[in-house]
Structure 1
Amino acid sequence: MCQGLAELPIACLERAKEFKTRLGILLHKSELAHGIGAAGKLQLGSRRRDSSREVLEWRESFDQLLKSKNGVTAFHTFLKTEFSEENLDFWLACEDFKKTRSKTKLASKANRIFEEFVQSEAPREAKTRTLMEKDSYPRFLKSASYQDMTKQATSRSINKRLHT
């Protein structure tokens, strides 16, 4: 890739990042096929009644989405399609770190978070929760996948009221 002394280190880094992005696209294809249904849309979980209410609550706030295991899963799948799931992974790792009580595990987890997400040129260098909330979350709410989930949830809710 970077041959000769005449090339600037910055050019080498740019090429490496471009290669990393292209490689990431190939690696994510199989993961995406697992998380997305045949029609190319996210699918609701198996808990139908609770899922319907949950899906509709996600649009109330970013915190509501993050409180829901299904919401985090759906959002993570969406972020994979945008190649930005490292933001959520970083936030989840930090949340897990905050819950850790063992000093030995704290040091180990802190080191892993730093090496994976924080240090310069980390393999999954991440931004903050704010970036997700202000950027990715609004796009998730507007996405066809989430719109389909809300239609399914609303339909189930209406059918449930009619049969009660």
Structure 2
Amino acid sequence: MCRTLTAFPTACLERAKEFKTRLGIFLHKSELGSDPASVGKFERGSKHSKEGRNFSEDVLGWRESFDLLLSSKNGVAAFHAFLKTEFSEENLEFWLACEEFKKIRSAAKLASRAQRIFEEFIISEAPKEVNIDHETRELTRTNLQAATATCFDVAQGKTRTLMEKDSYPRFLKSPAYQDLATQAVATSASPSSCSVAEPFHT
């Protein structure tokens, strides 16, 4: 995983540059396409999204708290794009999958989806294995024996804490976000900054 700018391989730097360029373009155009993947699903389901805020206000809100970032449709997509440059997007994808999982009402679907999430993110050597301790992994495995909407709560909580303490500060300090925030400050002071942004594709 890329931890510092100097440690980034060329491909990683190119992805970071693409993220920065893409967000800059989105800020000016405010014409953003929706993400059909899990991020998009979360956006539609989030009751906390600030639908009435324009893009500049939204961007500046991301640095206020991790909760505000996660409650923003554009914030989730931007953070996801950043995590891709660090090859750690599985953490957010797992968190989002858990949010969707909690909405399932059918017991049969709950059990089936729980198994898929476990195999995709939790089990050792999973395709998108998240960084959790052995005890949490085993607790989650036990919870799946009688799957409920809360069976991933401990693992989700630990993954969220990891993102908040580790990835989120780096996201805020990244050149991409710093430049975006600077542009947002300038744009929010402009009369043309009143349009409401739509979620963008990552």
> In structure 2, what residue type is equivalent to 1:118?
I
Aligned-pair CA distance for 1:113:
0.7
Is 1:143 the counterpart of 2:125? The answer is no
Q: Deviations over 1:110-132 (max 9, x none)?
A: 01110011011111111311110
Identity %: 63
**Greater per-residue helix proportion:** 1
Residue 148 of structure 2: aligned partner: none
Q: Deviations over 1:19-48 (max 9, x none)?
A: xxxxxx9xx88xx49x936x7563435269
Q: Does structure 2 retain, via aligned residues, the 8 Å contact 1:41–1:145?
A: no
* 1:86-101 → structure 2 map (5 Å cutoff): 86-101=90-105
Once the two structures are overlaid, the 10-residue window that deviates more, 56-65 or 118-127, is 118-127
* 1:73-88 → structure 2 map (5 Å cutoff): 73-88=77-92
Residue 111 of structure 1: aligned partner: 115
Once the two structures are overlaid, the 10-residue window that deviates more, 121-130 or 84-93, is 121-130
Aligned-pair CA distance for 1:160:
2.8
What's the RMSD between the two structures over aligned residues?
2.6
Aligned-pair CA distance for 1:99:
1.4
Q: Does structure 2 retain, via aligned residues, the 8 Å contact 1:41–1:144?
A: no
Residue 129 of structure 2: aligned partner: 125
Residue 19 of structure 1: aligned partner: none
Q: Distance in 2 between matches of 1:60 and 1:129?
A: 16
TM-score normalised by structure 1 residue count: 0.71
Residue 16 of structure 1: aligned partner: none
Higher radius of gyration, 1 or 2 = 1
Aligned-pair CA distance for 1:54:
0.3
Residue 154 of structure 1: aligned partner: 185
Aligned-pair CA distance for 1:97:
0.6
Q: Does structure 2 retain, via aligned residues, the 8 Å contact 1:97–1:109?
A: yes
Select the residue among 6, 19, 42 that pairs with 2:23.
42
> In structure 2, what residue type is equivalent to 1:134?
K
> In structure 2, what residue type is equivalent to 1:68?
S
Is 1:69 the counterpart of 2:73? The answer is yes
Mind listing any 5+ residue stretches in structure 2 that lack a counterpart? 1-8, 33-52, 132-158, 193-202
Q: Distance in 2 between matches of 1:145 and 1:41?
A: 9
Misfit runs of 4+, over 3 Å:
39-45
TM-score normalised by structure 2 residue count: 0.58
Residue 197 of structure 2: aligned partner: none
Q: Distance in 2 between matches of 1:41 and 1:147?
A: 14
Q: Distance in 2 between matches of 1:152 and 1:100?
A: 40
> In structure 1, what residue type is equivalent to 2:72?
S
Q: Distance in 2 between matches of 1:119 and 1:138?
A: 28
Q: Does structure 2 retain, via aligned residues, the 8 Å contact 1:115–1:122?
A: yes
